């Protein structure tokens, strides 16, 4: 049976690829896509998500526009990584494809989808957790029916990519991550230390698009250019991390996970230098009121790339 999912995205170059993957993977049935401010402002996220959807057979999918601001923190975006439009500044080139879908409001759409769908919903969140936290704060009872939230975020026994120790999604809205972790809804965290084990290299994308000349392949080639240039300049490698596509594949093919641990997770919601940092101890740890979550620590990389190639480049 397919897994019914809501995707919550802050499109984003890697979110865009994650959306394409989620719609192509036979294990997933995407019921709705909700959008949040993160990589870029939610207005840009909405336009870009519609453009990505237009490249697919998107019929039946509902779209929800969500928060433009975090629960408490000041707005923070990353146009230097993802471009001003979140798509490496290539959205205009694909304008003609843009899906014509009416946009609803994210939180009511999340709650309605959970109530309406017979199979318990899984939420795959590849952006800051603001929409999900707002849905919990609005109607916890309904949100408790969610089977699992799979969230790309946090960083364990590793550095950060935004704060010294903080990963971007939890840095942007640490309060939301805290609300979600404490909600009692089963939470699986896919952290930076794992998503950075799947870099897509420039040479790979050249090879893949050389073999496959589909619209999806061409789009992925175009959309990753700016993202890869950024990593080349700042991280000194010619490529880009596939954080969000990996999160989607974990939802579709859980056996890809080689090591998952149960730990308490505290998110630093204050801090001058440490906002958004994730702290953990084993589940029997001493922080009495700390929530326990599942944290993915290792995946089968070969299986990930096989899946990536199969559902995006054939
Ligand atoms: C996360 O932040 C964003 O830049 C990416 O889309 C990903 O969701 C990685 O830290
Ligand atoms: Ca993202």
How many Å apart are CA 240 and CA 199, to the nearest integer?
5
In this predicted structure, the answer to whether residue 314 has a pLDDT above a threshold of 90 is: no
Mean pLDDT of 268-280: 95
Percent of residues, the chain, with pLDDT higher than 90 = 92
Mean pLDDT of 166-185: 98
How many Å apart are CA 265 and CA 178, to the nearest integer?
9
Ligand 1 atom closest to 192 (CA): 10
How many Å apart are CA 308 and CA 314, to the nearest integer?
10
* Chain center to CA of 239: 19
| Domain positions in the chain | 3-312
CA 21–ligand 2 middle distance (angstroms): 14
Q: Does domain 3-312 have CATH number 3.90.245.10?
A: yes
In this predicted structure, the answer to whether residue 290 has a pLDDT above a threshold of 90 is: no
What band does 289 get if pLDDT is binned at 50, 70 and 90?
Answer: confident
CA 192–ligand 1 middle distance (angstroms): 9
Placement of tokens 């989808």 in the chain = 113
Q: What is the pLDDT of residues 119-153, one digit of tens each?
A: 999 999 999 999 999 999 999 999 999 999 999 99
Beta strand 103-105 with 122-125: parallel, antiparallel or unpaired?
Answer: unpaired
Mean pLDDT of 191-196: 98
What band does 235 get if pLDDT is binned at 50, 70 and 90?
Answer: confident
Predicted confidence at residue 283, as pLDDT, reads: 61
Q: Which residues are marked as active site?
A: 10, 243
Quick one: which ligand is closest to 169's CA? 1
Quick one: which ligand is closest to 168's CA? 1
DSSP 55: T
Rounded to two decimals, the pTM is: 0.97
Number of helical (H) and strand (E) elements in the chain, helices listed first: 13, 12
How many Å apart are CA 109 and CA 308, to the nearest integer?
29
HSE, CB side, 13 Å, CA atoms: give it for residue 114.
Answer: 23
CA 188–ligand 1 middle distance (angstroms): 16
Of 175, 184, 117, 118, nearest to 149 by C-alpha is 184
In this predicted structure, the answer to whether residue 206 has a pLDDT above a threshold of 70 is: yes
Predicted confidence at residue 59, as pLDDT, reads: 87
What band does 284 get if pLDDT is binned at 50, 70 and 90?
Answer: low
Mean pLDDT of 231-252: 96
What band does 285 get if pLDDT is binned at 50, 70 and 90?
Answer: low
Ligand 1 atom closest to 244 (CA): 8
Q: Tell which one of 48, 244, 247 to mutate to probe ligand 1, the residue whose CB is within 8 A of the most ligand atoms.
A: 244
CA 85–ligand 1 middle distance (angstroms): 15
Of 181, 152, 133, nearest to 246 by C-alpha is 152
Predicted confidence at residue 90, as pLDDT, reads: 98
Quick one: which ligand is closest to 193's CA? 1
Ligand 1 atom closest to 243 (CA): 7
Ligand 1 atom closest to 13 (CA): 6
What residues are in contact with ligand 1 under a 6 Å CB criterion? Answer: 12, 14-15, 39, 78, 81, 126, 152, 161, 167-169, 192, 243-244
Q: Tell which one of 15, 19, 38, 52 to mutate to probe ligand 1, the residue whose CB is within 8 A of the most ligand atoms.
A: 38
**Atom 2 (ligand 1) nearest CA:** 168
In this predicted structure, the answer to whether residue 28 has a pLDDT above a threshold of 90 is: yes
In this structure, are residues 129 and 105 in contact, taking their beta carbons and an 8 Å threshold? no
What mean pLDDT is reported for the chain? 96
DSSP for 168-182, written as a single string: HHHHH-HHHHHHHHT
**Atom 10 (ligand 1) nearest CA:** 168
Tell me the Cα Rg of the chain. Answer: 18
In this predicted structure, the answer to whether residue 286 has a pLDDT above a threshold of 70 is: no
Ligand 1 atom closest to 81 (CA): 4
In this predicted structure, the answer to whether residue 249 has a pLDDT above a threshold of 80 is: yes
CA 132–ligand 2 middle distance (angstroms): 14
Predicted confidence at residue 281, as pLDDT, reads: 75
Kindly report whether the peptide bond that precedes residue 241 is cis, defined as omega within 30 degrees of 0: no
Q: Tell which one of 243, 248, 277 to mutate to probe ligand 1, the residue whose CB is within 8 A of the most ligand atoms.
A: 243
Predicted confidence at residue 44, as pLDDT, reads: 98
What band does 76 get if pLDDT is binned at 50, 70 and 90?
Answer: very high
Mean pLDDT of 64-85: 97
**279: β partners:** 266
CA 284–ligand 1 middle distance (angstroms): 30
Q: What is the pLDDT of residues 89-123, one digit of tens each?
A: 999 999 999 999 999 999 999 999 999 998 999 99
């Amino acid at each position: 049976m397919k897994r019914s999912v809501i995707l919550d995205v802050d499109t984003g170059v890697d979110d865009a690829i994650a959306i394409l993957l989620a719609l192509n993977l036979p294990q997933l049935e995407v019921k709705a896509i909700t959008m949040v401010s993160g990589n870029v402002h939610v207005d840009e996220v909405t336009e870009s998500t519609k453009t990505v959807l237009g490249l697919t057979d998107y019929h039946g999918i509902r779209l929800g526009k969500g928060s433009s601001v975090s629960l408490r923190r000041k707005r923070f975006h990353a146009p230097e990584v993802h471009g001003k439009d979140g798509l490496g500044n290539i959205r205009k080139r694909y304008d003609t494809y843009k899906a014509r879908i009416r946009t609803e409001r994210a939180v009511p759409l999340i709650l309605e989808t959970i109530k309406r769908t017979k199979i318990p919903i899984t939420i795959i969140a590849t952006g800051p957790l603001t929409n999900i936290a707002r849905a919990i704060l609005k109607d916890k009872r309904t949100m408790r029916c969610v089977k699992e939230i799979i969230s790309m975020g946090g960083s364990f026994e590793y550095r950060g990519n935004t704060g010294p120790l903080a990963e971007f999604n939890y840095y942007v809205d640490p309060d939301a991550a805290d609300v979600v972790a404490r909600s009692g809804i089963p939470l699986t965290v896919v952290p930076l230390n794992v998503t950075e084990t799947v870099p897509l290299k420039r040479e790979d994308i050249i090879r893949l698009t050389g073999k496959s000349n589909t619209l999806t392949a061409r789009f992925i080639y175009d959309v990753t250019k700016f993202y890869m240039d950024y990593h080349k300049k700042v991280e000194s490698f010619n490529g880009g991390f596939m954080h969000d596509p990996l999160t989607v594949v974990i939802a579709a093919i859980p056996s890809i996970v080689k090591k998952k641990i149960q730990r308490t997770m505290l998110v630093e919601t204050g801090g001058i230098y440490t906002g958004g940092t994730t702290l953990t101890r084993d589940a029997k740890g001493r922080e009495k009121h700390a929530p326990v979550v599942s944290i993915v620590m290792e995946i089968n990389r070969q299986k990930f790339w096989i899946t990536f190639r199969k559902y995006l480049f054939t």
